[in-house]
Chains A and B, each alone.
Chain A
Amino acid sequence: MLGALPVHAEPAALASLGPLIGLAALGAFHGINPAMGWLFAVSLGLQRQAMGAVFSAAFYISVGHIASLAVVAIALAVAGYLIPLFWVRIASGIFLVGFGIYKLVLYYRHFRWVGMNVSGRDLFVWSFLMATSHGAGLMLAPIILNLEEEGSGGTADLGHHAGLLDLTETAATWGIGLAIHSVAMLAVMLVTAVVVYKKLGLAFLRRGWLNVDLLWAGALILAGLVTLGLALL
């Protein structure tokens, strides 16, 4: 999915659909990972014996996920404002590769953030922490840093030269990017949750629950390598 990325920056923001497709694809990938929330939504639906609980849980989980992504995007923007984009890419690329390797070895580490008897706020916090600690936002770094470059009109270090107009443009571009990612994630999460809840049933979990954690660690490493590649090539 990351192969669709343009290696060279486009002249104007959103000139290419590549990054948006990439963000949507990563949204789908996040949505299908049980650790990102659809499983929690299913279990709450079953526990409360109400389909509505699936939907309300998915809502709070999505908002938590988006909040985590927004925090990462803002952090990257601030970093891009303070230091050259080249170094932001190098730092986030190295971090992503290292974090991916860590998840590969210790992917099953979990803290006890909540329990089973949860409110909407609990789900928000749980999802925020799950997304943050799994590096969901950082996984988007190569694409949003690319958008950052595009948003600043192709200059390699945004902050030092960008005017207010460029910053607004960047923020708008990212907003659209995050929205596309989030809609894709919520759609996949809801479809998966409803299909498991209504059609497949619990027995599906025994056979169909692939080890997404390992794929996830691989995706982090890949995202890190792409980020490094974009910096160095």
Chain B
Amino acid sequence: MALMTPDPTFYPSARLAQQAPAERLGYVAVLNTNGKPDAMSVVDLDPNSSTYSTIVNSLEMPNVGDELHHFGWNACSASLCPYAPHPHLERRYLIVPTLRTSRIYVIDTKPDPFNPQVVKTVESDVIANRTGYSRLHTVHCGPDAIYLNGIGSSDGVSPGGILRIDHNTFEPLGAWELDRGPQTLAYDFWWHISLDVAITSEWCTPELFESGPSLADIVAGNYGHKIHFWDLRRRRHLQEVDLGVENQMVLELRPSHNPTKAYGFVGVVVNNQDLSGSVWTWYQDNGKWAVTKVIEIPAQPADPDLLPEALKGLGAVPPLITDIDLSLDDKFLYVSCWGTGELRQYDVSDPFNAKHTGTVELGGIVKKAAHPKSGPLVGGPQMIEISRDGRRVYPTNSLYSSWDDTFYDNITGWMTKINVNPEGGISVDEDFFVDFGEGRAHQVRLEGGDASSDSFCYP
């Protein structure tokens, strides 16, 4: 396990990580609702390979009904951080939490990265007893431990929060928060590592997402609409910032990768007044954190006959911003509009003035836009992952089983590839299309790291 020189996939800065070699493979979390276990699929991303754009292997999980969702690495560039340096760890294990059954699988990607194996399972009762959390979601490799969060408490309600697991044994170390202040809801978390500031966002309690979205609760404003700032070092709540009760479901957090900058972006799924989706920038203002809306994407009017039951009364398709992702140079923000079937690119070089620089259409509730290698697509761009050099973006189409079924009939899993013009502009790669059949494709992790896997302590 001990290396003599640092793991070559660790980079001190995001600037250096952009020079990393192109990914040859990706790991894709695949959800099954047909009585089969979920799987971790290995997709060939090397255009020179004979198996390019195919699933070369699928590792079935040991249980049924887990609902794989997000996942991350055991170690990353944060291992180079100076206050707890251990650069000779390996980026080797995928830490894969399960959203419905609250387990953690540890998957070893060596010696053969195309043939990963489950080497450890931490069961939900162990996690509940040691941390008090359940419905495990986000994973980030930190300098001193691996950080995860749970959307619910161990009894399935709230508060949800952050837990840590040991770098070496992968055993849960306990709840992270010493003082959670007013925070109860959870969804995503990340940090400004150089400022010792953590940020968390809000989806809802498990009862409001597990059986599907509740229109009545969206209208009533019962989903999350705040983000929280924390002292990462002292594990204390610092400040909550309310985006307004009409902004329902505040999800993915994307802080600037450059540690000398103190801003980031967060996506809002839907505004309960006009069905728009939005992206907000957080920033520091006289020592306090503040937010401002920088992107607003309106709903598209639609014939009610073409809409699913849940949307018929609205006569429009909301964009449903379910994921955003920031390139390592902090230049381009990608926004997935899962409802309207769009992936948008914005130039956010000026984080307060986002410029819309490109759009591709794939699927969508009404449009069902096709890929050159497919018929009409069911689902839309949902999870997005960006290569370290920022030249390729990989969207997949599934959100969460019960939410998929609310918005899309007979959804099947797919993954596409978007080529990026470094000056701005995006296009669908016509040669790359992966059909997962009944499996629903969720988060992608790229070989060696990607734009949401690593934290950098150096500018």
Q: Which residues of A contact B (CB under 8 A)?
A: 34-35, 39-40, 42-43, 46-47, 49, 106-118, 126, 202-203, 205-207, 209-211, 213-214
Please tell me which stretch of B22-30, B75-83, B105-113, B352-360 contacts chain A, meaning at least 4 of its Cβ atoms lie within 8 angstroms of it: B75-83
Q: In the complex, what residue of chain A is closest to B86 when comparing beta carbons?
A: A108
State in angstroms the CA–CA spacing of A40 and B5 once bound together. 19
Task: Name the CB-closest residue of A to B87.
Answer: A209
Q: Is B275 an interface residue (CB 8 A)?
A: no
Q: A47-B260, A206-B11, A209-B5 are in contact. Are A114 and B233 (CB under 8 A)?
A: yes
Q: Whose C-beta in chain B lies nearest to the C-beta of A104?
A: B2
Say yes or no: A108 contacts B89, CB within 8 Å: yes
Contact between A203 and B16, CB atoms less than 8 A apart: yes
Q: Determine, out of B32-40, B192-200, B211-219, B276-284, the stretch whose residues face the partner at the interface.
A: B192-200
A114 to B13, CA, bound (A): 20
Interchain CB contact under 8 A, B193 and A202? no
Q: Indicate if the CB atoms of B5 and A210 lie closer than 8 Å.
A: yes
Assess the B82–A115 pair: CB atoms within 8 A: no
- Which DSSP category, helix, strand, loop or mixed, fits chain B's interface? loop
B21 part of interface (Cβ distance < 8 Å): no
Extra pairs beyond A112-B145, A117-B194, A206-B12 (20, CB < 8 Å):
A39-B85, A43-B457, A43-B458, A46-B459, A47-B260, A49-B459, A108-B86, A108-B89, A108-B168, A111-B84, A115-B83, A115-B233, A116-B195, A116-B196, A117-B233, A202-B13, A203-B16, A209-B87, A210-B4, A211-B2
Q: How far is the CA of A49 from the CA of B259 in the complex (A)?
A: 12
Q: With both chains docked as a complex, state the minimum distance between the C-beta of B15 and any C-beta of chain A, in angstroms.
A: 8
B6 touches A43 (CB 8 A): no
Say whether A202 contacts B458, CB under 8 Å. Answer: yes
Once A and B bind, how many residue pairs between them come within 8 Å at the CB atom? 99
Closest 3 pairs (CB-CB, A-B): A115-B196, A115-B233, A108-B86
The answer, yes or no, to whether B391 is at the interface (CB within 8 Å) is no
Collect the chain A residues with CB atoms within 8 Å of residue B4's CB: 210-211, 214
Binding site for A on B (CB under 8 A): 2-6, 8, 10-13, 16, 80-89, 143-145, 167-168, 193-196, 232-233, 259-260, 457-459
**A126 vs chain B, min Cβ distance (A):** 6
Also in contact, A207 and B5, with CB within 8 A (given A114-B233, A116-B196): yes
Query: Among the listed B2, B82, B167, which residue makes an inter-chain contact with A39, where contact means beta carbons less than 8 Å apart?
Result: B82
B81 touches A116 (CB 8 A): yes
Contact B194 A40 (CB under 8 A): no
Could you tell me the distance in whole angstroms from the C-beta of A167 to the nearest C-beta in chain B? 38
Docked CA distance A100–B208 (Å): 52
Measured CA separation A202–B10 after assembly (Å): 12
With both beta carbons as reference points, the residue of chain B lying nearest to A43 in the complex is identified as B82
A116 vs B143: C-alpha distance when bound (angstroms)? 11
Partner of B167, one of A40, A108, A116, A206: A108
Residues of A within 8 A of B143 (CB): 110, 112
Question: Are A206 and B10 within 8 A (Cβ)?
Answer: yes
Contact of A112 (CB < 8 Å), options: B5, B168, B195, B233: B233
A123 to B454, CA, bound (A): 25
- Whether the pair A110, B16 counts as a contact (CB closer than 8 A) is no
The reply to whether B194 and A47 form a contact with Cβ atoms under 8 Å apart is yes
Known: A106-B168, A111-B144, A202-B16. A49 touches B83 (CB 8 A): no
**Closest CB in chain A relative to B195 CB, distance in Å:** 5
Q: Is there an interface contact between B82 and A42, defined as CB atoms closer than 8 Å? A: yes
A113, B259: Cα distance in complex, Å: 20
